[in-house]
Amino acid sequence: MRRLGASTLGCLVSLMVVVAIGYFGFNFGEVYWRFYQYQDDMTQQLRFASHNTDAQIAHHLAALADSLGLPQPAGRITIRRGDRSITIESEYYEHVELPMYVRDIYFHPRAEGTY
């Protein structure tokens, strides 16, 4: 006996849409997750700016960019110090490929504060 209003094809299509959104969302989400990890570590470096030299900070962040699998330009760090203030920044593009869609996303991680 068939139940009214039940469609196995509709359930399958809905499930496929959810899986596709999850798959493609993961590709974009992974890129943004690495950006947020990188920017968070820049913010952490602000806490130790009075104890570390610019070269030490840049070396640490370049090593982190490499370990996160970020593109090589992300390892080029710009550090500016003022009177008791510091700005740390970088910029890079991430290349994201999806079926029939390719996009380069620009990121500019930046942290500034006082020490």
- Domain extent for 55: 8-114
Q: Is residue 50 part of a domain?
A: yes
Q: Is residue 1 part of a domain?
A: no
Q: Is residue 101 part of a domain?
A: yes
pLDDT at 64: 97
Q: Is residue 40 part of a domain?
A: yes
Q: How many domains is the chain built from? A: 1
Q: Is residue 83 part of a domain?
A: yes
Q: Quote the CA–CA distance of 27 and 72 in Å, as a whole number.
A: 19
Q: Quote the CA–CA distance of 90 and 17 in Å, as a whole number.
A: 37
Q: Is residue 93 part of a domain?
A: yes
Q: Quote the CA–CA distance of 103 and 106 in Å, as a whole number.
A: 10
Q: Is residue 3 part of a domain?
A: no
Q: What is the mean pLDDT of each run of 10 residues along the chain (115 residues)?
A: 60 82 81 96 94 96 97 96 94 89 93 91
